[in-house]
Chains A and B, each alone.
Chain A
Amino acid sequence: MRFVDEFRDAELGRAVSGQILSLVEPGRHYKLMEVCGGHTHSIYKYGIDDLLPANVELVHGPGCPVCVIPMGRVDDGIAVAHEDGVIFTCFGDMMRVPGSDGSLLEAKAAGADIRMVYSPLDALRIAKQNPGREVVFFAIGFETTAPSTALTLKRARAEGVPNFTVMCSHVTIVPPLRALLESPDLRLDGFIGPGHVSTVVGARPFEFIPADYGKPIVIAGFEPLDILQAIEMILRQLAAGRCEVENQYRRVVPYEGNLRALEVMAEVFELRPHFEWRGLGFISHSGLKLTEAYAELDAEVRFSVPGIRVADPKACQCGEVLKGVIKPWECKVFGTACTPERPIGTCMVSSEGACAAYYNFGRFAREREVV
């Protein structure tokens, strides 16, 4: 595949890996967080950990849009899906996320009409094909997917599709990062910035990370070479005592972001005062809801959404894992009450979560050399 294979070249990978090795200060331990779940996926898919010295540790951040949806929100979705006449649509990987009493996949088995879609426009099409049914789209994701939801809502209103609504669980990337950085027990040296989100928001919103917290961040693409190069750029900053926002993914991410996408989002969405994150708790101004002008397309207005808050299980220490304070295996429930088949917390939900990854891979990742 052209424009893909070039970024998966093993020889170039080894070269960057060698540069990384030369930048690492002997005896120093580096903890770098990749913010985005897409990066975590690539890191595991290509075994990038293996190409790093063991004292460069990658910490998997809160950027998996599926994993951060709290149990109560899944329960709300399931409640709406069970309403008479509703066709409930969502992205595929949302189907398995556990609520307090099962997942959407299980709700489907129990009789709810739940359909997997690839884009919100598919949900709108289902609404037009089924005028007698209420079609609800469970919208999740960061600024990456929010613009497509916004465009779909604009189109639904323009075309006057009366049986289409959106249950908005979109979130924004900056507030959880700030929450992590505010934490007094944070142990991170730098960030691999989210590539897809940045195509929309640009690099500017991340300026606060070096400015207010003195940590470097490098926005990176998703191919293995992108990620390795971003790590190298972070280590170079650390070695030189610099900290700034750098953009490794310039072929896609403009500094100012995508102004049209931001405009559409601003028209359709507004910030919620608070939104709950699985493992991180309530974070101010971190979630999006539909504006007053789009209230008629808001599933939370049209249906009675229970809105029950289900507390994360007390023993769950996802927050600490996400902050890099503890290792997955140091969590009290890891591997016993919390497993990939029956996950409790966000880090075990997706196969890319820090805990699921360690559960499946952990002991082999330890054979690397320490410099």
Chain B
Amino acid sequence: MTDRGAVSEREQTILHIIETARGKRAKFRDKRITMAHGAGGKATQGLIEGLLTPAFASDTLDELADAGSVCIDGALLALTTDSYVVKPLRFPGGSIGELAVNGTVNDLAVSGARPVALSLSLILEEGLPAEELRAEVEAIARAASEAGVCIITGDTKVVERGHADGMYICTSGIGHRDPRADLSPAGLRPGDRILLSGSIGEHGTAIMLARNDFDLDAEIESDTRSLWPVVDALLEEAGPGLRCLRDATRGGVASVLNELARASSVAMIVREGAVPVSPEVAGAAEILGIDPMYIANEGKLVAFVAPGLADAALAAMRALPGCEAAAEIGEVRTEPPGMVLVETSFGGRRVMDQLVGDPLPRIC
């Protein structure tokens, strides 16, 4: 006997109301912008889907992909833009300059576009030591050369002391859509496998520790890197069997999965025990009371691959330097649509929901 028969009419009504609310386009009703609007969770979604996309009525924008598409004289191009406001400017494993290149390159890569060129805008704070600026310019040049992109235009502005935490960087990128696959959330099919390109949580944890708010010490480095080689290998191995890619930046893997489950009205099931997390990140997350699935990455992607090609795609990823820990972490299902479920290592199940605000340390 199951308990399902016990669901009363009143409960059914309530469940229906909840589901309708979940399916609705997010609204933007807040009085002010709070830090939660920048955290990549529900508030960010409200800002984007409730205010921005309705204002600009554009089909390609409505897809909320990492990059938009534009066709010029038959050439299919991808265009993306991003701003970088990280504090501190330098942290173990990287710096704001490297992030500004790799982040934008990765938005192109996970859209299935080979990155070609970037623009670079620097917003500098009055008083920024020239040495720090020089170091970042060198970091930008190095990262661009490693990612195989050119910086072809730029801009500089200086703002008064106290206004830009040293420096902010904006980059835009343009890339060639790769013909080997047509990546889109609409391509997800039940049974598709969910692959992760390596261990998670390193960037966000490195930044949290570098801010020194917590007096914790651990050797954790940001994972910032270009993901194009990984995407290239996946396209080569899986071709059209590669359905969709996302880089798991702000909001972590959990946010990426939730976003796609909603966008494609599919369910996802994740096996917690299969998700690679380094012991250092697991330890820091345990102490801070934060789930690594919600921590930002700067060099990890989530790939959705047709079931028959998943093993080959995984092997291709693992052969690349930095992706040795790549793993299959779950699969796409039909029920319950729009939701991400986790099979916990302990043998239970739960919903892995969207983040409501910033991941804040818990006290109890």
Contacts and interface: CB of A to CB of B under 8 A. Distances in A.
Interface of A: 1, 4, 8, 10, 13-14, 17, 36-38, 41, 44-51, 54, 63-66, 91-96, 102, 105-106, 108-110, 116, 118, 122, 140-141, 144-145, 196, 224, 327, 329-330, 334-336, 339-341, 351, 359-364, 366-370
Contacts of B345: 8, 10, 46
A8 B364 contact: no
B213 A118 contact: yes
B346 to A, nearest CB: 4
B57 interface: no
Given A351-B356, A369-B2, A370-B1, A360 B31 contact: no
B344 A96 contact: no
A339 B42 CA distance: 13
A1 B11 contact: no
B17 interface: yes
A67 B106 CA distance: 40
B14 A351 contact: no
B274 to A, nearest CB: 13
B33 A141 contact: no
B279 interface: yes
B290 to A, nearest CB: 10
Contacts of B34: 105-106, 108-109
B350 A335 contact: no
Interface string B1-12: 111101100110
Nearest to A228: B346
B281 to A, nearest CB: 11
B21 A339 contact: yes
Contact of A370 (B3, B21, B353, B363): B3
7 contacts: A45-B350, A46-B348, A48-B348, A94-B363, A329-B11, A336-B17, A368-B2
A54 B7 CA distance: 13
A8 to B, nearest CB: 6
Contacts of A368: 2-3
A13 B362 CA distance: 25
A369 B364 contact: no
A45 B350 CA distance: 7
Contacts of A141: 363-364
Interface string B322-364: 0000000000000010000111111111110100110011111
Interface string B174-204: 0000000000000000000000000000000
A50 B348 contact: yes
Nearest to B21: A339
Given A41-B362, A66-B364, A109-B33, 19 more contacts: A1-B282, A1-B283, A41-B364, A47-B347, A47-B348, A50-B348, A51-B346, A54-B2, A96-B360, A105-B36, A116-B213, A116-B360, A141-B363, A224-B348, A329-B14, A330-B10, A340-B356, A359-B18, A364-B341
B159 interface: no
B286 interface: yes
B76 interface: no
A110 B32 contact: yes
**Which 7 A-B pairs have CB atoms at the shortest separation, nearest pair first?**
A47-B348, A92-B360, A50-B348, A109-B34, A46-B346, A329-B14, A91-B363
A106 B31 contact: yes
A47 B350 contact: yes
Contacts of B349: 47, 50, 364
A51 B10 contact: no
Residue of B4, B14, B342, B345 with highest tally of chain A CB at under 10 A: B14
Contacts of A327: 11
A51 B33 contact: no
B35 A105 contact: yes
B313 to A, nearest CB: 28
A363 B357 CA distance: 24
Nearest to B18: A335
Given A50-B347, A50-B348, A367 B286 contact: no
Contacts of A64: 364
A140 B363 CA distance: 9
Given A93-B363, A367-B2, A47 B15 contact: no
B99 to A, nearest CB: 23
A65 B363 contact: yes
A118 B214 contact: yes
Nearest to B361: A92
A49 B348 contact: yes
A14 B10 contact: no
A366 B346 CA distance: 19
B360 A47 contact: no
B360 A364 contact: no
A361 B348 CA distance: 13
B363 A92 contact: yes
B31 A118 contact: no
Contact of A366 (B3, B10, B31, B213): B3
Given A364-B336, A366-B3, A66 B363 contact: yes
B5 to A, nearest CB: 10
B23 to A, nearest CB: 14
Interface string B228-245: 000000000000000000
